[in-house]
Structure 1
């Protein structure tokens, strides 16, 4: 039986992968630091801190596949991002290699490509140019994984039960400012968390050989979703106000003034950010569900967990990782 070590099991994507792995017939270990994962009597808990490499000694002994999904996402704490996403990943990979782990799968982000616009680019088409502390540190962490012949996954926008970033931020923004930008024509790579988890779980259970230089795969639905259709889904299922006006991208930039974070989000949602993801679905044999079906299924969770739709200034700073860059 394959033995799998999963990091980040208490998080959004990691929790979904944990649920998937329960049905995949693997022996599961969960690396735990602060937050405990969902109870699982069949999983073995091992303790370690990515910021303290000495605590990782032995956590990979007897492991066949490492699934590294843990990350730091606080844009206001670049040091934590560096310690966890870059140095922590390198330390964990070093420990995996010492222990003879054959396969490593690492969750990164398509935000490593920067602000774009990007329209249908394949994995080899773009040179990474990250613009945030989170994305820079995650790109740095990829290097250790690829040097070990591992697989790096780069989703762009992830949604579904457990999402505290993407949909909540958009819902608050559109409630405070019910407008579209350039008709909402910008198209985005979205992936339901259950489909992302299915791809990770398939890689965990499969027997594959590492390749020199590793592999990189985008992870999004084959069909991008327009911001207009995404906003319409929020209106239909979550009661978010429909747009009352349409403005140009230049007008939106002027409206936002010199607020760097707001301008960053405008760059993400006001222009194309979609990527060719056919490789990962071919690699794993999984067929992702369409956006309309997946979002409708996730809507009850969002309705139950969305805080009152206060303006963004009164809410968390907005999406960074596990839903957006």
Structure 2
């Protein structure tokens, strides 16, 4: 028994002496690794600039502003000049810092998630990060106005809406020119009918009425009036009995349709509220597709995004 006791006690003492060392190995070092290292949780704010890269030590430098979606087409539409991110405290882990980032964007865009990414000084788990190595990965989203302006470029609802607009414009144009054709045909028919009545109501292929066989005369065909004889009087009974022309149902419908189409085109340039697409100015398909694709508004508004942090 004494032999067992003398054997176990030294082993336990050795194990107990090793535990603090192992525990200490998993604790983050509170001493700075270098004068170029800083605790991520100690950073209060960061300002990022377009067309600038981060500092680097272990890994290649990256852009300070990196758009990660939702698509490359949207990212190519606009890049903010600067973005400022402010430390809003941490989550469950002291090193999981939460950030609020703001940037000035045209009214067609807004910020989505904004994650600050820094280079860990020793490795990606190091709470100390390299000074100047932080950048922000952000998502650039379209507002409702952006969907209306760039929907056909990126697909989605804006593309369907643009297709419906083009279809409606085509149908309206066909109706308009169809109504004009109906009006033209009706007017031509009325004018042509009146002219025929004034000429005696005879078709263009008819012969003039001839007299019956004459009472005697030379051989051959007798009794027909000479070519120079005056024509007998005709009663323009059909022309007299024809009532004066008045606009009928189809003529009125055609005129009303043309007027409604003209008013609709003029009213459509003022508002799309009838379609439920807001009160933005409507544009014809030709103007919409002839405009440069990458032309956001000159005015900007402040947009805010939220996100966490990550070390690389």
**Shorter-chain TM-score range:** under 0.3
Is the radius of gyration larger for structure 1 or structure 2? 2
Higher relative contact order (CA closer than 8 Å, sequence separation 6+)? 2
Relative to the length of structure 2, the TM-score reads 0.17
Relative to the length of structure 1, the TM-score reads 0.16
